[in-house]
Amino acid sequence: MKTTVSAVLNSETLVSCWKVTRQDGTTFGFTDHDADLEIDSVTYMAASGFSRTATRQSADLNPDNLDLQGVLSSAAITDDDLAAGLYLGAEVWHFQVDWSDTAAGKHKLDYGMIGPVTRNRNGFVAEFYSLSHLLNQTIGRKYSKDCQHVLGDSNCGIELEPSDWAASTAVSALDAVKPTTYDGKRYVCTTAGTTGATEPTWDDTVGNATVDGTAEWTCYAAYTYQGALTAVTDNQTFADSSRTEADDYFKYGILTWQTGNNAGLEMHVKAFANTGGAFTLLAPMPFEVQVGDTYKVSVGCNHKLKLDGDSWGSSYSGDCRVKFNLENGGNAVNYGGFPELPGNDTVLAGPDL
């Protein structure tokens, strides 16, 4: 973004502009001028109804306060995009230019991101968070009994969905793949080598081995599953009768829609019932859920190694040890919490007399 100003901007011809870049990479430009402006190859639309409230800025580190308002009739800002959360966390540049000479440069006013968006029948209001907002966030690790890692990230070490099998590829022990045709399993390399020229016939019985070129794979239950809905109660509750996993096996997992009105969107799973394969999401999906919609869903993790009642040592029964106790003998080595941390009752208790 050009930040130099070649001359004093004329206050009589100053207009405000906002450059909004959503998290999906789509960029929009808006201005309160009465005609579109072309600046650095971005068209800043005037016919958008885009406006702002008064800005409160201070010399201290308190977050700046600004509301961005727009009219949903704009071709760029649609109700569906707002409902899908595409503007949440979008990057915003706020600046002024001289509409009669945009080459004179920009007067930067603020930079930040869009927070929660409130929608109503006539328009929307989006909170704007300046960079100083980040100073209010906790940075660093906290001492907690529960794991602080995100399931599937580099700290956790669990690979939720391995890559597809590939021909004539060198593989190492503990590498994981999934067949090019989904079978609900994943295969972990137990003998390093080079895969064959053609995909093997996978032995999909958990614990059995499949020879593949000079490599060998062992079958394990998957961490990510696919399916299609067979019944729908509402946009938050639905079922896939083919699911046979235990109650709450997918609790805390993430369900991502592959087809249907919500394709590409995701939501955390609040509960899962073995009876009928019933899912309950943490919140309703923004668009209608229908029978036949396909999805992917990852297993959930309660972020615990030790549950109440577990004795000290190897009998821990939290998800990190039980649900993810597969090819690497348990993921406890990567646990991001402190299971033996005393609770408040212990800390506040007086001495035994």
**pLDDT exceeds 60 at position 280:** yes
What DSSP letter does each residue of 189-206 carry, written as one string? EEE-EE--SS------ST
**pLDDT surpasses 70 at 24:** yes
Identify the burial level of 121 via C-beta atoms within 10 angstroms of its C-beta, where 0-12 means exposed, 13-18 middle and 19 or more buried: exposed
DSSP 162: P
Q: What is the pLDDT of residues 205-230, one digit of tens each?
A: 999 999 999 999 999 989 999 999 99
- Cβ atoms 186, 178 nearer than 8 A: yes
The string of pLDDT tens digits covering residues 334-344 is 888 888 777 77
- Kindly tell me if the per-residue pLDDT of 274 is higher than 90: yes
Higher pLDDT, 112 or 175: 175
pLDDT of residue 30: 84
Rounded mean pLDDT, 245-270: 94
Query: Tens digits of per-residue pLDDT, 44-103?
Result: 888 655 555 555 545 444 545 555 555 334 566 777 777 777 888 888 888 899 988 888
pLDDT digits (tens, 9 = 90+) for 1-23: 444 444 555 667 888 888 888 88
What integer pLDDT is reported at residue 72 of this predicted model? 38
Specify the pLDDT at position 2: 44
What gap in Å lies between CA 3 and CA 279, rounded to an integer? 51
32 token code pair: 């309160």
List the single range of 95-99, 126-130, 135-139, 308-312 with lowest mean pLDDT. Answer: 135-139
Banded pLDDT at 169 (limits 50, 70, 90): very high
Handedness of CA 327, 333, 336, 337 (dihedral sign): positive
Domain boundaries, the chain: 11-136, 163-221, 224-298
> Are the CB atoms for 87 and 69 separated by under 8 Å?
no
> CA-CA distance, 265 to 209, in Å (whole number)?
36
Structure tokens at 202: 């996978």
